[in-house]
Amino acid sequence: MNRSIKHTLVASALLATLAMPALADRSHSGPMHMGPWAGLQHAKPQLKLTAEQTTLWNAAEAASQASRDAMKSGMEKTRTLFDEQKQQPILDLQKLSDTMEAQRDSGKALHEKERDAWLKLYASLNDAQKQTASDSIKQHWQRMSQRMEHMRHGKERP
């Protein structure tokens, strides 16, 4: 393999690994931080969930936590593998690629389970609850849009 391509692959993999901690800690933003229903946590008190809905909420939160935990664990394993590979005279790029692909596949399955749990909860809401949830989600989207705009223009957040 061309030396330049090797360096590019290794640099890309290392950069991805360094970025992973930022992606792993989504717990501060409530359920499904990256999903379209991010911001739902803020509406929970106003939703006045039934016992059945509370059970669905708890299941969705548990799915989110399992997804976060698996992501963190996978990143730790990847970092360990990178550290091991850095000690080797010749990198095993296939092993690195296989590990990262397996983690991606596992993460996708957990993400789908998490997404489905939140969608099941949302489907159980009545129209008034959905309106409250929608308003909260839209407010969250607006805050995220403002933050992104500030970041694009190098301004500090308000």
- Rounded CA-CA distance 37/127 in Å is 16
pTM over 0.75: no
| Nearest alpha-carbon partner for 121 in 54, 45, 48 | 54
Q: Is 107 within 8 Å of 78 (Cβ atoms)? A: no
- Rounded CA-CA distance 113/128 in Å is 26
- Rounded CA-CA distance 64/114 in Å is 6
- Rounded CA-CA distance 92/116 in Å is 37
Give 87-138 pLDDT, tens digit per residue.
999 999 999 999 989 988 988 999 899 999 999 999 999 999 999 999 998 9
Which of 12-21, 39-48, 72-81, 141-150 is predicted with the least confidence, judged by mean pLDDT?
A: 12-21
- Please give the pLDDT value at position 149: 86
Q: Is 139 helix (H, G, I), strand (E, B) or coil?
A: helix
154: which 2 tokens? 């190098």
φ and ψ at 153, to 5 degrees? -100, 10
- Rounded CA-CA distance 22/14 in Å is 14
| Nearest alpha-carbon partner for 35 in 123, 112, 125 | 112
